[in-house]
């Protein structure tokens, strides 16, 4: 690289600046923090923030709990692509409360589990792409049902925001005081 820096080495003219940004964005791993954040953005004291939500049955096939002979946690059904503040304490509490289910969950070492199909790691279960065991929804349900463990957040911190290659969309998002986490997607 020359002395002009990364952007100048990629594009030699000012008009190529947007193209250089796109090249850099394509190299990003997916999520970017678009606003300054601190621990307090995601935690209130030692308690993780979580969005409001309602619990629902975790599995489409309700016989899972009967087959395990144990309670199964619920979920808020959320599978948003946002950052989820977590603590070891709450993670341990969920595992202690649902040990048989957690063992069942750990047995799914390959691919996503589908209770409709009763399998994971197969081409059919991968096509199903079931979010049933997405820990994010279980985590948020647990915090919702045990409010002393976290702090409910009514803002847009947990709003999934996706950005494509449109320059106006980029500028609008950067000017939005509520947008914190941005997920890059679409075609650049």
137-146 pLDDT, tens digit each: 899 999 999 9
Comparing CA positions, the residue from 115, 131, 108, 120 lying closest to residue 61 is 115
Q: Is residue 9 part of a domain?
A: no
Q: Is residue 7 part of a domain?
A: no
What's the pLDDT score for residue 10? 35
What's the pLDDT score for residue 8? 37
Q: Is residue 3 part of a domain?
A: no
Our count of domains for the chain comes to 1
What's the pLDDT score for residue 30? 58
Helix 135-145 vs helix 88-97: angle between axes, to the nearest 10 degrees? Answer: 90
Q: Is residue 64 part of a domain?
A: yes
Q: Is residue 35 part of a domain?
A: yes
Task: Please say whether the beta carbons of 164 and 187 come within 8 A.
Answer: yes
pLDDT in tens, 83-132: 788 899 999 999 999 999 999 988 988 888 899 999 988 999 999 888 88
Handedness of CA 108, 73, 54, 159 (dihedral sign): negative
pLDDT in tens, 40-77: 888 999 999 998 888 999 999 989 889 999 999 999 98
pLDDT in tens, 2-19: 333 433 333 333 333 333
Domain of residue 179: give its range: 14-184
Q: Is residue 6 part of a domain?
A: no
State pTM to two decimals.
Answer: 0.70
What's the pLDDT score for residue 93? 93
Q: Is residue 121 part of a domain?
A: yes
Q: Is residue 1 part of a domain?
A: no
């Amino acid at each position: 690289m020359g002395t002009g820096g990364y952007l100048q080495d990629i594009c030699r003219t000012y008009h190529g600046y947007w193209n250089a940004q796109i090249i850099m964005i394509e190299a990003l791993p997916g999520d970017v923090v678009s606003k300054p954040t601190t621990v307090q953005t995601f935690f209130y004291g030692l308690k993780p923030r979580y969005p409001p939500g309602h619990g629902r049955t975790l599995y489409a096939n309700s016989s899972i709990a009967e087959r395990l002979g144990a309670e199964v946690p619920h979920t808020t059904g959320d599978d948003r692509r946002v950052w989820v503040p977590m603590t070891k304490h709450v993670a341990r509490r969920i595992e202690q409360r649902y040990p048989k289910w957690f063992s069942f969950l750990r047995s799914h070492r390959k691919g996503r589990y589908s209770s409709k199909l009763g399998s994971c790691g197969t081409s059919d279960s991968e096509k199903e792409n079931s979010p049933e065991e997405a820990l994010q929804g279980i985590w948020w349900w647990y915090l919702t049902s045990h409010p002393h463990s976290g702090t409910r957040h009514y803002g847009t911190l947990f709003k999934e925001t996706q950005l494509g290659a449109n320059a106006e969309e980029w500028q609008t998002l950067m000017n939005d005081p509520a947008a914190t986490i941005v997920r890059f997607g679409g075609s650049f």
